[in-house]
Chains A and B, each alone.
Chain A
């Protein structure tokens, strides 16, 4: 395939952006879609592209060559593209987000001095928290994006977002982290090291908390926050900058969803939330779409006929196929074929309805067909990438 095809609206969008943030509900193929977008972008544009994935499936990681652990970006070798039948114009790098490692690096950068950094890193509370801090995953993904963007190594960075209960969480993560460190309650907690007993305001709280948690634990927590507070100013400034980067005109969002009721609903709320926050929605992708032929009324007639007239059709067909003795078996096969079509036709019509609803809220940029089996190589990612780029504002062809 020649990468120099006609430029599409997606080519133009990506030419004007530096960051694509992939968001949306979990379990819809967001990570794969983000990877496919980056792969195809590096093929079509003469650009240095990075994709940051979070918890990719093993085969996807293998396809990108990021099977190992760690934050470092590795280049997807040009030979892999050539083997998959394309000559890329640009280059592709892939990295995996390691939350714990990212937090440790962040603490080292932000702490006022080395000794404080080491004390934070060895604090048992920090060690417990850094893996599963409230909003920690979301925030650190954005933080890492900021870091990479500031280094200016890449023309385009595509970042996958961690699965969250609410897809929206990460949009507000920078603001919430700033609030967290600015809060009065945090100052209360830090009080033990500043003889908190004199503080009348906090007394009832500590009476109760001491009884429940024990003083030692509370002091551990206090020390942790006291140390963490030394990073306060740098942190808040940083969280604001990260928030600003999301709103920057070089940043766009890609929302991925499947056409099932629950994920589609969550995606719709995500799209609305982007608009509320004046964040740019560049792509809305419907994934795992069943083929359009399932909505063909003529095919539905055939499916019904197969179920209603299976036996007589089988008898006639058995002759043609030379299956003399197996008419009963053939009858069952024909019935199953018809029934299966009717079942999937029902699912496909629900999908069509959801797609129409989605299109009302925002132009659906691309639909990606249901590809059974998993992405097992660069070739598969290229195939999905082609779908993303091929149908500006339209439907995909039949899968």
Chain B
């Protein structure tokens, strides 16, 4: 099987707040050491570009580091490009109101905005401007709609230029060697539920394959089994007093607090591990499952992206 980053088009998604943007940017950074990479923010908040030079990104890809470009999706601009490329609509000057009207249809009619988004991404892949396009996608519920749009358009629209355009998109999207979805989750109940739901809907509704799972913000395992027994003994009655004695020259209360904090860390870790186990067993065993440790120091920004990229690199053996 081809490696995760050997594909041409990767959609990174997951429940809101799990760190999709950080993971997408980190994957881009990681791949850019050997391939020309584009990272596209579909719901632009400026976070991808902010991890580099802080200059805002636009619809036109801009190189922010060697081998790495960023862009922000803009469905109106995508429509304009589409009209120019495929329909040769000779009305550049008058396109404004038409595009606005179209934008309106797009917000009302299902699939149109989605196809403009997915279409632009597939176009970048087909034209070979980049070796790999990584998409910081919408949250899980929405991404199925985006990826299913070419299929859905075929059902709803019986004739017209859009329909004739969906075939080549599907060829790219449904080829597992070229396209895949990376689902990000944190070790918590709801993000894992959403990841499992998404994994099962992907194949059924979109024909796009699941390329990998990323467990983000995973707390370190503090103790091995034998060590856990020792820790339990320390946490038992009088454990704090004995530890305070052994340390010498300190009172019991702060020692007990330190022990309680470790017990809390163990409990959080344990509840998270159960959920990740559930996620692991819900998907095919050959789907890569990558762990990114919880960053105690920084949760976002350039430093965090670099650390996440390093962690993913280790997991991928890169």
Contact = CB atoms under 8 A, between A and B. Distances in A.
B21 to A, nearest CB: 10
Contact of B260 (A217, A293, A347): A293
B201 interface: no
B123 interface: no
Contacts of A27: 15-18, 188, 190-191
A332 B15 contact: no
A374 B187 CA distance: 12
A128 B156 contact: yes
A302 B255 contact: yes
A333 B16 contact: no
Interface residues of B, number: 76
A334 B247 CA distance: 11
A338 B258 contact: yes
B246 interface: yes
A221 interface: yes
B262 interface: yes
B171 interface: no
Contacts of B87: 208, 211-212
A185 B246 CA distance: 78
Contacts of A323: 230
B238 to A, nearest CB: 9
B18 A337 contact: no
Nearest to A125: B109
B105 A209 contact: yes
B7 interface: no
B83 A299 contact: no
Nearest to A369: B264
B174 interface: no
B285 interface: no
Contacts of B243: 313, 317, 334
Interface string A283-298: 0000000110110101
A263 B234 contact: no
B163 interface: yes
A220 B231 CA distance: 68
Contacts of B89: 208
A336 B159 contact: no
Nearest to B270: A372
Chain A contact surface mostly? helix
A341 B15 contact: no
B265 interface: yes
A332 B224 CA distance: 10
B246 A212 contact: no
Contacts of B83: 208, 212
Contacts of B233: 321
Interface in A175-220: 183, 185-186, 188-189, 204-205, 208-217, 220
Interface in B46-87: 83, 87
A214 B267 contact: no
Interface string B101-141: 11011011111100000000000000000000000001100
Contacts of A134: 107-108
B158 A214 contact: yes
Interface in B159-193: 159-163, 188-191, 193
Interface stretch (B30-38, B207-215, B296-304, B308-316): B296-304
Interface stretch (A74-82, A303-311, A355-363): A303-311
B268 interface: yes
B155 to A, nearest CB: 9
Contact of B265 (A301, A302, A309, A340): A340
A374 B161 contact: no
Contacts of B287: none
B257 A132 contact: no
A372 B270 CA distance: 9
A372 B264 contact: yes
A165 B15 CA distance: 11
Contacts of A129: 108-110
B57 to A, nearest CB: 18
Nearest to A134: B107
A334 B264 CA distance: 15
B227 A213 contact: no
Contact of A337 (B98, B142, B258, B297): B258
Interface in B227-270: 227, 230-231, 233-234, 242-243, 245-247, 250-251, 253-255, 257-262, 264-265, 267-268, 270
Interface string B1-36: 000000000000001111000000000000000000
B98 A317 contact: no
B254 A216 contact: no
B254 A302 contact: yes
Contacts of B111: 128
Contacts of B261: 291, 293-294, 299, 340-341, 344-345
Report the 7 A-B pairs with minimum CB-CB distance, sorted nearest first: A214-B160, A27-B17, A298-B254, A372-B267, A317-B246, A214-B159, A293-B257
Interface of B: 15-18, 43, 83, 87, 89, 91, 94, 97-98, 100-102, 104-105, 107-112, 138-139, 142, 145, 152, 156-163, 188-191, 193, 220, 222-223, 226-227, 230-231, 233-234, 242-243, 245-247, 250-251, 253-255, 257-262, 264-265, 267-268, 270-271, 296-297, 299-300
16 contacts: A58-B193, A185-B100, A204-B98, A208-B89, A211-B160, A221-B109, A298-B254, A299-B257, A299-B258, A302-B254, A320-B242, A337-B222, A337-B262, A341-B258, A341-B261, A374-B189
Given A58-B193, A291-B260, A333-B227, 17 more contacts: A26-B16, A27-B188, A28-B17, A132-B110, A132-B142, A183-B104, A188-B101, A205-B97, A212-B102, A214-B158, A291-B261, A298-B250, A298-B257, A303-B258, A305-B250, A336-B223, A373-B267
